């Protein structure tokens, strides 16, 4: 294949990648049973894996037969995401989708409409020469940090995902340290 074809393929993949990371074009939501600790833990893990893959989660939904069973503690685990309830649909009979959609509360409808509100997964602090990576669903022991290209990139490995973070020119240098604080990996650059 000629270099021209490879360039076209690379440009196409870049466009697809940009589309995938734009929450106004592709909205991702977490859905869980808030009564089940495994369901909640899995949703937190999927949130972290989605961020590592380069996409964003726009909100979280819990479903329960009785919406009053929704626990505030579960919603707090997913902050800063918006959290709302979905109607329970029994699996033993065919679903009445009209009834299910009509039973959505205003909070749920608002969450489904507003997909532009996302929490930044990476933030740079030039004054402190630090990079903060939001890593929900992972603990410190699961995260590996590598540095590439003479200090211009960080490679973060968490779970089964790898992610390259390109550092702004003013922040490039050697990693001075890293600490895990409240679901965030804070990397200091020397």
Q: How does pLDDT run across 141-154, given as a tens digit for each residue?
A: 999 999 987 888 99
State the DSSP string of the chain.
--HHHHHHHHHHHHHHHHHHH-TTTS-EEEEE-TT-HHHHHHHHHHHHHHHHTT--EEEEEEEESSGGG--HHHHHHTTTS-EEEEE---SSS---HHHHHHT--HHHHHHHH-------SEEEETTTTEEEEE-TT--GGGEEEEEEGGGTEEEEEETTEEEEEEPPGGG-S-EEEEEEETTEEEEEE-
Task: State if pTM tops 0.95.
Answer: no
d(CA 23, CA 18): 10
CATH class of 122-189: mainly beta
Across the range 77-84, mean pLDDT stands at: 91
- How much is the mean pLDDT over the chain? 86
Express as a percent the part of the chain with pLDDT over 90: 41
Task: Confirm whether 3-113 and 122-189 share one CATH topology.
Answer: no
* pLDDT, tens digit (0-9, with 9 covering 90-100), for 150-176: 888 999 999 888 999 999 998 898 899
Across the range 7-31, mean pLDDT stands at: 83
Q: What is the pLDDT of residue 97?
A: 75
Q: Is the pLDDT of residue 88 over 70?
A: yes
CATH of span 3-113? 3.40.50.300
Q: Is the pLDDT of residue 188 over 80?
A: yes
Per-domain residue ranges for the chain?
A: 3-113, 122-189
Per DSSP, the three-state class of 29 is strand
């Amino acid at each position: 294949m000629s270099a021209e074809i490879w360039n076209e393929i690379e440009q196409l993949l870049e466009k697809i990648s940009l589309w995938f990371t734009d929450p106004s074009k592709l909205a991702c939501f977490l859905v869980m049973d808030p009564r089940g600790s495994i369901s909640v833990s899995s949703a937190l893990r999927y949130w972290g894996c989605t961020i590592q893959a380069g996409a964003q989660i726009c909100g979280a939904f819990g479903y329960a037969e009785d919406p009053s069973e929704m626990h505030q503690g579960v919603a707090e685990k997913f902050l800063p995401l918006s959290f709302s309830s979905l109607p329970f649909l029994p699996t033993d009979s065919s679903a009445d989708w009209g009834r299910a959609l009509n039973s959505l509360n205003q909070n749920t409808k608002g969450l489904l409409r507003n997909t532009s509100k996302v929490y930044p997964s990476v933030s740079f602090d030039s004054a402190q020469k630090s990079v903060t990576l939001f890593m929900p669903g992972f603990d410190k022991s699961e995260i590996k940090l590598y540095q590439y290209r003479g200090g211009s990139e960080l490679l973060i490995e968490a779970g089964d995902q790898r992610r390259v973070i390109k550092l702004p020119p003013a922040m490039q240098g050697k990693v001075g340290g890293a600490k895990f604080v409240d679901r965030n990996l804070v990397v200091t650059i020397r």
